[in-house]
Structure 1
């Protein structure tokens, strides 16, 4: 049985907001505890017209957004969240005129904080453009958003 949150609501959260739509983020799906976005290459998203690669700010926005999606995947529901901390290591320039993918997973949840790792790449996650470590504040009065429940959901999968 499919999870309506993952099939109906998460795709809307991935690209339905004005800024995500304007940046062209498209939902690629969820595999296990990993969620993936794609940003198709567009000339208006280029940082330096001489190189034709995505602007660094786009990579930052994409990693932050896919990280938030990973929190909702771990929670299996929507809850208001805010980025508490975001660290990005840029490893290389993106390739010119190539779509960018991002993938994230929440590796720890507490009642109020989610911890996420994410990366941006063109085709191979082992060759990232950037990698990120993020924490998000979860505004939730629901006690089910705990680390032990995350572990039991993963064990059951």
Structure 2
């Protein structure tokens, strides 16, 4: 799973990595790096990479719960950016697929930089499952 997450493309550039997963959840990381800073004066990571992290955590949680990769599209994904992340800290996002139906996955996630009770952002959404790919595993 780890090499699938952050080895290429957008995730590779951002540095998104795998931390852990369970039957219906996944934890991904976003290490602080200068290229992601939105304000050079403060060193705070821009909100865009955090949104990407939450989008990945929620969508991959649906694959984890299903047990295989299934193509999906975003029907709705609400992200509330609660506060700026502390400069220099890795951000952890825990995405959970709390309900999986035949054609829909209901998801939520929280991103924090060390204290899950003091989130940087949280997300809730729905993905439409549009098909199935035989043999592909998350």
Q: Secondary structure at the match of 2:109?
A: strand
Name which of 3, 6, 25 aligns with 1:15: 6
Deviations 1:84-138 (A, max 9, x none): 2111111111111111111110011111110100011011211110010011111
Unpaired runs of 5+ residues, structure 2, are 134-138
**Higher Cα Rg: structure 1 or 2?**
1
1:113 is matched with 104
Q: Are residue 83 (structure 1) and residue 48 (structure 2) matched?
A: no
Alpha-carbon contact 1:14-1:69 (below 8 Å) kept: no
Distance across 2 between alignment mates of 1:80 and 1:12 = 19
1:148 is matched with none
2:32 is matched with 41
Could you say which structure has the higher strand fraction?
A: 2
| 1:33 CA displacement | 2.5
Could you say which structure has the higher helix fraction?
A: 1
| 1:141 CA displacement | 5.5
Structure 1 segments (4+ residues) deviating >4 Å: none
| 1:17 CA displacement | 3.5
| 1:16 CA displacement | 3.1
2:93 is matched with 102
Alpha-carbon contact 1:111-1:140 (below 8 Å) kept: no
For CA contacts below 8 A with separation 6 or more, give which structure has more relative contact order. Answer: 2
TM-score (norm 1): 0.79
Q: Secondary structure at the match of 1:71?
A: helix
Alpha-carbon contact 1:29-1:36 (below 8 Å) kept: yes
Unpaired runs of 5+ residues, structure 1, are 1-9, 143-157
RMSD, aligned CA: 1.5
Aligned length: 133
TM-score (norm 2): 0.90
Alpha-carbon contact 2:23-2:65 (below 8 Å) kept: no
